[in-house]
Amino acid sequence: MTERERSRGLAALQQMRHVPVVIALLLLSIDHAASQLPPAPACPVTTHVENTAVARAWHEDVINRRNPAMLQQILAPEVVLHAAGGYPKRMNASGIAAMMDEFLSVFPDLVYTFDQFIAQDDFVVERYTATGTQHGKLGDIPPSGRIATWTGINVFRVECGRIAEVWAQVDAVSRTQQLTGPGPAPQGR
């Protein structure tokens, strides 16, 4: 190796000793710049209109259109359910689909109509009227063949564009009276 080549090699080594310092400064400046950015949202922000559409799909798509696959699109991985009927408090889409399928086996012609939706913050309140003919056992009530119409209110909490919690209140007293009390003979449907 000639003296000239040795000098060039030494010069290159001297320049390279500054490389770690430059890299460290770059990393610090990138870290500092990143810390100045606002935090990325954990999930997409949804509007009242979008939240209402998600809540409406609970009955419109899953029950009225008989499309339980929609639950995969509208439910959080785990939903907290506050309802009568002995259902578990926490359910996933499969559990809720089974619950709704069970109810549809009792009232196979069940239809929900929507009386009102109110959205505020992450909550959507749904007032509905349901009508169906009882062809299966409902709790202790044997199949009656009678048509019943009842009302209910659901409150949905929407998180990240999906239903994360539901409070369900149903006028079960009126429904039970229609299915068991004196009234017109069952109609064939």
Neighbours of 181 (CB within 10 A): 9
The answer to whether residue 16 scores a pLDDT higher than 90 is: no
Residue 125: band (very low, low, confident or very high) from pLDDT cuts 50, 70, 90: very high
The answer to whether residue 36 scores a pLDDT higher than 80 is: no
Pairing assessment for the beta strands 162-170 and 75-82 based on DSSP bridges: parallel
DSSP label of 41:
P
Give percent of the chain with pLDDT exceeding 70: 75
What single letter denotes the amino acid at residue 61? Answer: D
The answer to whether residue 27 scores a pLDDT higher than 90 is: no
Neighbours of 9 (CB within 10 A): 11
Per 3-state DSSP, the chain is made up of helix, strand and coil in percentages (nearest 5) of 40, 30, 30
pLDDT on residue 26: 46
SS3 2: coil
How far is it, in rounded angstroms, from Cα 148 to Cα 168? 18
Q: What is the per-residue pLDDT across 146-166, written as a single tens digit (0 to 9) for each?
A: 999 999 999 999 999 999 999
Q: What is the per-residue pLDDT across 50-95, written as a single tens digit (0 to 9) for each?
A: 999 999 999 999 999 999 999 999 999 999 999 887 777 999 999 9
For the segment 100-125, the average pLDDT, to the nearest whole number, is: 97
Q: pTM of this prediction?
A: 0.74
pLDDT on residue 12: 54
pLDDT on residue 6: 59
